[in-house]
A and B are shown apart, each in its own frame.
Chain A
Amino acid sequence: MTDYLETEVRSYRFSRSKAVIPGLLFLGLGASLLLGATIGPYPLAPHKVVSLMAARIVGVIDPSPEATVLFNIRLPRVTAAALVGAALAGAGAAYQTIFRNPLVSPDILGVSADAGLGAALGILWSLPLIIIQLMGFVGGLMTVSLVVLVATMVRGRDDVLVMVLTGLALGALAGAGIAAVKVLADPERQLPAITFWLLGSLAGAKTNDVLLAGLPWLVGLSLLVLLRWRIGVMAMGEDEARALGIETKQLRVIVILSSTLITASAVSISGIIGWVGLMVPHMARLLVGARFDRLLPASVMLGAMFLILVDTAARSLASVEVPLGILTALLGAPVFIWLLSWGRPQWA
């Protein structure tokens, strides 16, 4: 009898939190967008931001300096931060779920580094952005495929560890490639761009870049959203997922392609930003639980919010802009160590 009551109380509490947490995330995302648009060397009051945007939506073109700052500098940058944060966190949640591995993310699997190598080559050869994106995607895809191949070959050992270590090795290889590109780069024009970009930055984010990266981002993320329920079942492992009715080979290919596509589109906007893809899904899991159909939207919103806030801090904390990758590493490395040591009982 008490068991029954307890169940009632619990499910009541759960049905409430199910609606409350996405609502809070949505509000938080809106608030951080507004905050990011407000803060900067030329401060804009929040109500000014809202009224300028309302005017623009109605179709009034305002030539004031405030409007120029908002629409040409602030908004592209905040949008880029949201896009990149959402992409890395969404890809991280998907990789973690289908590889059944809480320690993987786009950067740890080496996808970011290889997408970075592709992009660095693009800068070296002065290629157009769309080719840079394509090279990033192909580089990233080759890396995931290699990681999966190696992890399959050394099966029987600790899968989680093999995957992390293989990603590390391939990431190091990409690092060597990037170092070679740096040696070859023009030290006046190209080298500063490559270096700053490899540390991760949204300083160069322009409206056109965001629009160009937006399409692959939308395609990849839409596929993950559409397949969200089935992706979650993959966390049960190969045999169980198949016995539950999933064609695992097809699904795995689609999920890897989509996640790598959105990672590459993020890297083409911002360069390599580590740790977001690892850290944010774990934060989201604490909020909404392990179910992927809830985890994905929560990760995407939390990732966007997180990167807007970190980027706002990066450009306003000091008189010189701090590269984003440095800040995310400061936050992410301790989380990774915490996961390794204390987090294990939760997922092992």
Chain B
Amino acid sequence: MGLTHALIEAQGLAIGYHDRPLADGIDLTVNPGEVLVLLGPNGAGKTTLLRTVLGLLPPIAGSITLLGQDLSRLSRSAIARTVAMVPQSLAPPFSFTARDVVLMARTARLGPFASPGPTDERVVEDALARLGIPHLAERAVTELSGGQRQLVLIARALAQQAPALILDEPTASLDWGNRLRLLDVLERLAADGLGMILSTHEPDHATRLATTVMTIDAQGNVWQGSPAEALDLRRLAALYGLDPAQIDRRHQDRNQSISVARVPSSGTYP
């Protein structure tokens, strides 16, 4: 079959706004089953990079391709069929049910005047079942907890049936238990062959999920490497502007939490 294209590929990317560039010279590649974890302090440009890769914000320079096709030439629905987004939070102004929200994933596969049909309903049921939340289907998302909303958003991304996922701090609003459950879910999805870019504030996630880690610091310096290299104390300290001794103390606690996270879970979700 010759060359297969990467799911997501960017070259010489400069991100930000014309009056406020955040980082440049970014190259990245995501293939099926690979997870790129983005680390960096608040405001460094993690969300901006994710929005740029989704085509929601034009790059200042450089190129992005999805499955070998130039992002800037693709329609919104063509992009949505390749990359699904999991936003930081779900806060619709009206009380949509979880099923309504997940059903919206089918939009990119519908004609301009069409509404979802039985096939779409089945895809939605499957996505809800895969995340263990069929019992939430008829609940209003405005009444769900943060963790449940996050699962609904991931179910929506799955129902989009795109080969790549982009997740913006998916664990930010979750309690400790739900964080671990969500990491399990993401691990399974990567094992099923989905490619992912995921931004997070927790370097632990790098060790559990990442194929590659990318860091962006407050000055816009970009670094890429293996998870083991990324978790180097001095590197993390420099990234977040900390004293290495501070991290050292915390890192020991973290080792404990990682060992807890490795205990197999029962496979049920809230």
Contacts and interface: CB of A to CB of B under 8 A. Distances in A.
Contact of B107 (A14, A101, A229, A290): A229
B51 interface: yes
- How many of chain B's residues touch chain A, expressed as a range? 35 or more
Interface in B79-102: 79-81, 83-85, 87, 92-97, 100-101
B165 to A, nearest CB: 11
Nearest to A225: B113
A77 interface: no
A102 interface: yes
Contacts of B76: 242, 245-247
Contacts of B135: 3-4, 6-7
B122 to A, nearest CB: 13
Given A7-B137, A229-B107, A230-B107, A346 B96 contact: no
Given A243-B84, A347-B142, A293 B107 contact: no
Contacts of B110: 229
Interface stretch (A115-123, A149-157, A166-174, A231-239): A231-239
Q: Which of B54, B83, B97, B113 has the most CB of A within 10 A?
A: B113
Given A293-B115, A347-B142, A235 B94 contact: yes
Interface in A253-296: 285, 289-291, 293
B112 interface: yes
Contacts of B229: none
Q: Which of A4, A229, A245 has the most CB of B within 10 A?
A: A245
A204 B76 CA distance: 48
Given A102-B94, A239-B87, A347-B95, A247 B75 contact: yes
Given A7-B135, A14-B138, A229-B116, A236 B104 contact: yes
A322 interface: no
B56 A239 contact: yes
Contact of A7 (B96, B97, B134): B134
Interface string B42-67: 00000000010011100000000000
A4 B160 contact: no
Interface string A11-26: 1001000000000000
A48 interface: no
Nearest to B157: A243
Interface in A5-59: 6-7, 10-11, 14
B114 interface: yes
Contact of A243 (B56, B112, B113, B138): B56
Given A11-B138, A229-B107, A290 B94 contact: yes
A285 B142 CA distance: 14
Given A227-B112, A228-B115, A229-B114, A244 B104 contact: yes
B88 to A, nearest CB: 11
A346 B143 CA distance: 8
Nearest to A292: B94
B90 to A, nearest CB: 8
B87 A100 contact: no
Contacts of A227: 112-113
Nearest to A251: B112
B174 interface: no
A25 B212 CA distance: 57
Contacts of A10: 137-138
B186 interface: no
Contacts of A247: 75-76
Contact of A240 (B75, B81, B87, B115): B87
Contacts of B140: 346
B134 A285 contact: no
A290 B104 contact: no
Contact of B105 (A11, A239, A244): A244
Given A7-B134, A247-B75, A346-B95, 5 more contacts: A235-B93, A239-B87, A243-B85, A289-B96, A348-B93
20 contacts: A7-B138, A14-B138, A97-B94, A227-B112, A229-B116, A232-B104, A235-B93, A236-B101, A239-B56, A243-B85, A243-B87, A244-B80, A244-B160, A245-B107, A245-B108, A246-B107, A291-B100, A346-B95, A347-B93, A347-B142
Nearest first, the 7 closest Cβ-Cβ pairs linking A and B are: A245-B108, A245-B80, A245-B77, A290-B94, A243-B85, A3-B135, A100-B93
Interface of A: 3-4, 6-7, 10-11, 14, 96-97, 100-102, 160, 226-230, 232-233, 235-236, 239-240, 242-247, 285, 289-291, 293, 345-348
